[in-house]
Amino acid sequence: MSTVQRKPILLDFEKPLVELEARIAQIRDLAEENEVDVSEQIQQLEQRAAQLRQEIFSSLSPAQRIQLARHPRRPSTLDYVQMMTEDWIELHGDRRGGDDLALVGGIARLEGRSVMLLGHQKGRDTKDNVARNFGMASPGGYRKAMRLMEHADRFGMAILTFIDTPGAWAGVEAEKQGQGEAIAYNLREMFRLDVPILCTVIGEGGSGGALGIGVGDRQLMFEHSVYTVASPEACAAILWKDAGKAGQAAEALKITAPDLKALGIIDDIIPEPLGGAHSDPLQAAKVLKDSILSHLVDLDRLTPGERREQRYQKFRRMGVFLES
């Protein structure tokens, strides 16, 4: 049976590395055809390729991290559910007449422990992206999420949320259905839940769309993810009337994991495989799972009251500034 190999999606800053790897493959093929031993030369080139890969991915700019965070083959919520958990049962509906495909949720077992998993879900191709509205949830999606979180709280299940959205759906219909109210309600209600809540930015964390499932005891973030109050393109268009200055806006917004860790917005940075989570999804899932389990052990030591108080104080500390 033949297998279909997907053509790699090449980002601009990866071109020197890909060209070098293609050259190595070409030399290897020519050597095999002509029965010439060039193993020493190939080894030197492979060492150079490994060094170049390390150099590229250890010094990414915020704009380049955005490219990785938006990579079409970056693992999604359902990918991590499949790789990390067992006995996954997806739950549907907000009980008000809708079931938003842009925000998925359900019950699963994580190392034998029942947990509630929620997350934004983007599509893999154009048709799937349209069906899932490119991961931009409607008010019904946030109401579904809240319904599932209340279910988890009632039955003592930890809540794990995976954030990956450019923002909440901003259409006229979403406004008619109460988008702002739905997100605000979730923000308030997540503070009162007794069970542990872990929120992880797995890709793009955009604006209120991310915050709608982002109030937790621990805020985790993948190394090359971004978390921002507004997209750099939108920020540049507002400030400079020029979306082309998105790179400059990305620098100013402090949207990367190291910046947000320094600011106290997130608690932990989850390292990615060299080349990004999409280059080795299984390894990314393993590291994410280990991090979640470690934080759950810490949170299990606290009483529900202590968790609620710490959660409240954590968010009260955000955005504090001094005026001279």
Instruction: Return d(Cα 24, Cα 28) in angstroms, integer.
Output: 6
**Bigger pLDDT: 26 or 308?**
308
The H helix count followed by the E strand count for the chain is 14, 8
In percent, the amount of the chain with pLDDT more than 70 equals 97
Residue 224 CA: distances (Å) to CA of 227, 231, 292:
10, 15, 18
Distance CA 116, CA 118 (A): 7
Mean pLDDT of the residues in the chain: 89
pLDDT at 135: 92
The residue type at 161? T
Segments making up each domain of the chain, as ranges: 12-59, 65-316
Question: Would you state the pLDDT for residue 24?
Answer: 78
Instruction: Determine the pLDDT at residue 2.
Output: 42
pLDDT value at position 3? 45
The answer, yes or no, to whether residue 230 has pLDDT greater than 50, is yes
For the cut 70, the answer to whether the pLDDT of residue 7 exceeds it is no
Please provide the DSSP assignment of 59-109 as one string.
S--HHHHHHHHT-TTS--HHHHHHHH-EEEEE----SSS---TTEEEEEEE
pLDDT-derived band at 148, boundaries 50, 70, 90: very high
Q: What is the pLDDT of residue 35?
A: 72
pLDDT in tens, 150-176: 999 999 999 999 999 999 999 999 999
At 111, is the pLDDT very low, low, confident or very high (cuts 50, 70, 90)? very high
Query: What pLDDT is recorded for position 6?
Result: 57
* Second-level CATH architecture of 65-316: Alpha-Beta Complex (3.90)
Cβ neighbours around 242 below 10 Å, total: 12
- The pLDDT tens digits for 31-53 are 777 777 777 777 887 788 788 78
Do β-strands 113-120 and 103-110 pair in parallel, antiparallel, or remain unpaired?
A: antiparallel
